[in-house]
Amino acid sequence: MSESPGSKFDEAQDEPLFTAIGRMDGALQAAYDRAAATMGEFIRRLGVEGEGYRAAKLRFRDPDESERLGEDRFLFLWLGGVHYYADENVFSGVFFEVPAGFEKWHEVGEQLVFEADQVFDWMILDDGHLHGGFTLRVQRERLPEAEREGYDQYVGVRVYEPVGGGE
């Protein structure tokens, strides 16, 4: 467990843990670019039988916040159980968490079909080894050192693997 008492990663949460991100966040934009550049690796790994937990992070317009603020606001959510359908060149995934208020549009357990250009990040977590997960890596790097072990346990990562020629 993490050395820091009271870490949000040490206990089960009633709500999913979400992080507010500025629109001009350069490190996260680089993570999105890295994910886009390695989509072939993701597709290849999705084709490997039994290779761990598969997820993709997508961007969703938040209708309530967009209306309230008079400008588009977005949420980034992970969908799990991702599959790739080569014949149609599409993916499918299932919502495993939805923030409060957003269940008017999407609900836990709902399946969604999406295309590669809608993926902002991807990850395969196989026996504690993380492939992809570029935004997770950025978030972890920004945590105080004392919080990182708790974060890793919360996410289920023991090893951050290189993807597509190193990270």
Residue-wise pLDDT tens digits, 11-20: 554 444 445 4
The answer to whether position 18 is within a domain reads: no
Give the pLDDT band of residue 44 (cuts 50, 70, 90). very high
Note down the domain range covering 92.
26-155
Asked, for residue 105, whether it belongs to a domain, the answer is yes
Greater model confidence, 94 or 100: 94
- Decide if pLDDT at 66 tops 60: yes
Whether 54 is in a domain gets the answer yes
Q: How far is CA 122 from CA 8, 43, 56, 159, 163, in A?
A: 24, 10, 4, 16, 11
Query: 82, 86, 14: which is closest to 51 by C-alpha?
Result: 82
pLDDT-based confidence at 9, cuts 50/70/90? very low
Q: CB count, 10 Å around CB of 70?
A: 7
Please report whether residue 38 resides in a domain.
yes
- The reply to whether 15 falls in a domain is no
Instruction: Indicate the length of the chain as a whole number.
Output: 167
For the chain, list the strands marked E by DSSP.
53-61, 74-85, 90-95, 111-114, 119-126, 129-132, 159-160
Q: Crossing angle for the helix pair 39-46 and 26-37, nearest 10 degrees?
A: 50
Number of structural domains, the chain? 1
Q: How far apart are CA 84 and CA 46, in angstroms?
A: 7
Residue listed under structure tokens 């467990």: 1
* Start-to-end CA span in the chain (Å): 26
- Asked whether residue 141 is domain-assigned, the answer is yes
State the pLDDT at residue 156.
94
pLDDT at residue 69 is higher than 50: yes
For the chain, what percent of residues have pLDDT higher than 90?
Answer: 69
Q: Does a structural domain hold residue 56?
A: yes
Q: What is the pLDDT of residue 17?
A: 45
- Asked if residue 49 is part of any domain, the answer here is yes
